Structure 1
């Protein structure tokens, strides 16, 4: 068929994005909004010759398809769909973008359920790559056909996904974004720092504030209210002030007249002078210690790895050698590079090997009784002025520093696993940390070709503080809804720019590790979901023992 005439009722973030995508693909578009200022703004941005804009729903009568993109309020959507049924032609297909309400129920309320289907977007086009086509038992074949056609004309892939899993995914992601707003409001970290940390630390396509601005702060606020989640005070205030995100030019970030983000000047907090680093040390033989040692040696820094025994030290060096050999096979480095890197890496069991190091990274078990002894030993063997960095993610860096005689020389460097791949390092200063040590940490992270984000000394820092409550929410929702693990994981990765679903991520991290971190966060977030504790007690640890939320065959 020829390209249909598409009407859009509601020109907020989603409506404007749809209008832009449809018009760009040559469709005739009729855009309607009750706010004349919105109509003028969208018209000025698009300026497409095929686009007719107005504020009278009667203007939509010529449309073959009408998409309602009005605020997430059930009564409003029901009323709008009912009016469209009365005012549009009898064969006009009506699509609702509702993200938290039942599409079949809205279709019935419209009075013409055969003509109504759902077309759900987690992000407005062109950022959206998929559109969820929600079919109902009452919808005609033509209705579903045109819904899919609309998804394609929006530049997205039409995907069939059950309504409930999508609603659960939206509830999880919106609650996560709401927590980020509360964290920023506390002054713990800035918007740019949180976005950067979550993108790099979790492999997200966009940071939470970028997502909020794209979706629209008012859209998220309304959905949270529907879900029974109190919106963060800062979110409410910004909506009241009209700072709604990209569509108004100002949300958590700023945007120009065409809707393009205006880069923010990044204000550095580094005031000291970096100390010279000619040799580094790593204490530990586990996955993180090996990865950090590899990263240091790859960066050209002679590195000494110290383990509890010679056997553990040699096994750690062998593991690094194996990792480098894989990099050679994949063409990332040459054999000559591999040999040079290994030549810069020594391993042993004695702390005396750290005597000439300029910085030593402690990467032993996340247990203060273990770390305290290691930190005292490192302190005793290091020369004055050398820096001690701890990789803790859940313990106090201040407490770690107090187990040394040089708290001014101690800083937190929270690497992410796998260290050779992950680009983020959370840099954690204490009230004692010398500015030169802080500057040294930033210089070292830059030398390792990673990105440093400053954090205050608090359990979880940025990434874990925001990530693990989201994972805990997923466990709680699973226990009280009829959705499956696979459905939720698929919905999250299909609808949002997340690389994996929450249950796959829990299995990957390890249910026992996740529970331990959640327990550490209890003073801030409350106790972990009881089903998670029960699973760990029963020996379900995730991928490491092929017993987790996903079946063993899905953990390959």
Structure 2
């Protein structure tokens, strides 16, 4: 593919000054220098300028070692990077990018000083992700040349750059900076001026909810982080990410977002303020939600909150045989997981034909695993032989664990639990795979609520490692211990959570998805830009609208309603656009149209 051609009518940004040589500023300077720009690095702290030079020397040395640069090219990059401690060094810059601390006062001082230093045509960019670009521009002598240029950390690796224009910004300045971002090998997304822009606007609400969840002692920090990594495929858990970003920085961003939105979901969780005031700001301090080996270190070390590795306090019950109720994708996947782990499985459906069809689906899944080299032919055959299809739940008479995976309808589940209560032997554990309904409501449909627990598998069950283990106020300790042991036996990662709407994953995921819909509804950004921002800026495997169409808009709406009904927070009310699409029958990929249209198969 040919390199994009710059518009010769636009300002040519050959010399760029970067003001503030912390981690982000140094990363931006490296990107610019390696792309052939003359870079003027400025920081009032001489130690910071020396450190920035050392970082660039080290990174270019690694690039030579990996064959990405020649020694000659490395020398050219280093020669293009010059450092100064005086802002007047920016006098000849075509573009100045400030990456100083997130403080209006500090940024305003920089912009006011630059007014008296740079040329009238120099473009001034702020690297803020939380403060108002418009307010900073209004304080400048030439607001039309001020815009936002938000890189993501680490700048050399992250592809996304948000180009932020205010109502005052000249289109030519936006176009010139957008061209530059493309030449740097980045993917620019044009956004308007509001706190957090697209990526952080969605990300920080999610991080705030995770902090509040931990503060409420609903789940441990380890379980919250594991749930979001394993359940959503995220590169980092939210609490570890808050430590990386800086707890104080996150608090600043959220305060700016709340000031603009007055949405309670953006009101910083009190724990963020408590940690910040105590100086426990994350990795940079050596301690935040987790404890690290040293200030600035990345290695988490055990502390007083780290779960013990000793034996469980309660001994679990013996489980040799498992009953799986249902014949759909989830039921088939769960039955396959148990059979591959060596359990005898009874797969029961409403008719013998449905049960046989479900077993046939498992046979095809096992065959695909053999074809991909993940399973031997013998192991696949043995797993399939352990599964006994049945057309009646009476076949569960001797199972030690019964797992229901039927429709996500409380009446249907309660009717099934009433049946399981009658057919299953005393001491058998009864588990529901619900993702949004109250587990205790299923338990109360039985005469043995102490034996009922939630086991929320994720789809596809054979591939996804996470199981949310949901105990109610009535669940017995040995039932909880048993299910955790079983999860480990089937090579799943159990996380503990209480019986409330959404558990961990959906309680954090769906408000984020709902907020993305609101962005589109308010015409702030397009579907494509939001999806690109979250994949490129947040490392998400799918953008929110891709994910919504895969999950199903009707399923998503149902979960949003459950969350809103339970927590009574106005910010959790389903976005009207989602309700309208569902009412129109646009449910996502399964109907050929959701937020996007899909080819019919």
Identify if the C-alpha distance between structure 1 residues 452 and 53 changes in structure 2 by more than 3 Å, giving closer, same or farther. farther
**How far does residue 126 in structure 1 lie from its aligned partner after superposition?**
6.2
**How far does residue 297 in structure 1 lie from its aligned partner after superposition?**
1.0
- Residues 454-473 of structure 1 mapped to structure 2, 5 A cutoff: 454-473=496-515
1:245 equivalent in structure 2: 282
C-alpha RMSD of matched pairs (Å): 3.7
Tell me if the contact between 2:29 and 2:39 (Cα under 8 Å) persists in the aligned partners: no
Residue 9 (str. 1) matches residue 19 (str. 2): yes
1:549 equivalent in structure 2: 595
Deviations 1:195-250 (A, max 9, x none): 11111111111111222222222333222233223222222232233332222222
Tell me if the contact between 1:13 and 1:246 (Cα under 8 Å) persists in the aligned partners: no
Match of 2:340 among 292, 298, 322: 298
1:161 equivalent in structure 2: 189
Q: TM-score, normalised by structure 2?
A: 0.79
Cα distance in 2 for residues equivalent to 1:62 and 1:162: 27
**How far does residue 491 in structure 1 lie from its aligned partner after superposition?**
1.9
Identify if the C-alpha distance between structure 1 residues 403 and 53 changes in structure 2 by more than 3 Å, giving closer, same or farther. farther
Tell me if the contact between 1:218 and 1:244 (Cα under 8 Å) persists in the aligned partners: yes
Q: TM-score, normalised by structure 1?
A: 0.85
Tell which deviates more after alignment, 207-216 or 131-140: 131-140
Identify if the C-alpha distance between structure 1 residues 13 and 389 changes in structure 2 by more than 3 Å, giving closer, same or farther. farther
- Equivalenced residues, count: 544
1:429 equivalent in structure 2: 471
Residue 415 (str. 1) matches residue 453 (str. 2): no
- Residues 136-535 of structure 1 mapped to structure 2, 5 A cutoff: 137-139=171-173, 157-164=185-192, 167-227=197-257, 228=260, 229-255=266-292, 256-264=294-302, 266-268=306-308, 270-522=312-564, 523-524=566-567, 525-526=569-570, 527-535=573-581
**How far does residue 137 in structure 1 lie from its aligned partner after superposition?**
3.2
**How far does residue 253 in structure 1 lie from its aligned partner after superposition?**
2.4
Tell which deviates more after alignment, 356-365 or 482-491: 482-491
Tell which deviates more after alignment, 19-28 or 108-117: 19-28
Flag structure 2 segments of 5+ consecutive residues without an equivalent. 1-13, 59-77, 261-265
Cα distance in 2 for residues equivalent to 1:542 and 1:399: 30
Identify if the C-alpha distance between structure 1 residues 358 and 257 changes in structure 2 by more than 3 Å, giving closer, same or farther. same
2:69 equivalent in structure 1: none
Residue 83 (str. 1) matches residue 113 (str. 2): yes
Tell me if the contact between 2:159 and 2:186 (Cα under 8 Å) persists in the aligned partners: no
Tell me if the contact between 2:28 and 2:151 (Cα under 8 Å) persists in the aligned partners: no
Deviations 1:490-509 (A, max 9, x none): 22212111111212211111
2:43 equivalent in structure 1: 32
Flag structure 1 segments of 5+ consecutive residues without an equivalent. none
Identify if the C-alpha distance between structure 1 residues 41 and 198 changes in structure 2 by more than 3 Å, giving closer, same or farther. farther
**How far does residue 267 in structure 1 lie from its aligned partner after superposition?**
0.7
Deviations 1:265-288 (A, max 9, x none): 641594211322221110111221
Cα distance in 2 for residues equivalent to 1:215 and 1:63: 30
